[in-house]
A = this chain, B = another copy of it.
């Protein structure tokens, strides 16, 4: 049993909560693939409040709820909601809560999911609050690793890209630290992991390595977790162009390496398309794993 009412931040979860979710998710896979049917959430309604566009998170939550026999209502953009008539987030959320057995919310404002969770009685799941948290992404990342290697403990995970502003990466690092993973943070110096995050991780007595050069670690790592480096982060476009190439993963980068490549998607050009068909490319599988993980969360939260 999960003791939490809501899933707002990965930091709210204890290690045993995470293990429970991953364990339940494993049992959901055949239902997630449509091979088995389930009606465990029959008669239940999930309220989706998506104030920002989303393909993966929204559709995988919908698929998860529906594969379990549940129903979905909600909106996928501001324009079709009463927010257009000046209604505030609190009133909209309290209203949706009247119609639903749980709420999934994506909102541009950091802290919005926690704010809503405190307002309503039904469980609230944070599906991304601006630059804030996106805990179900972290959980499916963990599940992908667990599912591929049979374990998380003891692996060496490199996280590459924008480690300064990419806060979902901070959540992932925090969660990995709970599993005593060796971590390498690979980024341009301008986009290094912030000091306070590094300090937080040190509480777990985890081995951490920082570098700007992927080649230094690529032969040792089990997982290469790639994220995007956004052009907007660089005041000087030339500086961006210079750096970009070094953090683009192509078939040559991966030649002869024994690792898997993950990415939260959407990608732009940080992983070349030629990589897609290599056995090490796990990012679409990773997207699929979002379904059983979200099924597990829905089943555990909805009474």
Q: Is the CB of B265 within 8 A of A95?
A: yes
Docked CA distance A94–B75 (Å): 24
18 A–B pairs (Cβ distance < 8 Å), ordered by A: A34-B45, A36-B43, A47-B59, A53-B80, A54-B80, A55-B75, A55-B82, A55-B96, A56-B95, A59-B74, A59-B95, A63-B73, A66-B73, A77-B79, A77-B80, A94-B284, A94-B287, A99-B287
Interface residue stretch chosen among A83-91, A160-168, A241-249: A83-91
Please indicate the chain B residues that have their CB under 8 angstroms from the CB of A170 in the complex: none
Contact (Cβ within 8 A) B66 A45? yes
Q: Which 7 A-B pairs have the closest CB atoms?
A: A37-B43, A87-B266, A98-B288, A66-B71, A55-B82, A63-B99, A76-B80
| Copies of this chain present | 3
Residue in B closest to A302 when the chains form the complex, CB atoms:
B34
- Return A218 CB to nearest CB of chain B, in Å: 24
Chain A residues with a Cβ closer than 8 Å to the other chain, count: 59
Interface residues of A (CB under 8 A from B): 31, 34, 36-38, 42-45, 47, 50, 53-56, 58-60, 62-63, 66-67, 71, 73-77, 79-87, 90-92, 94-96, 98-101, 265-268, 273, 276, 284-285, 287-288, 290-291
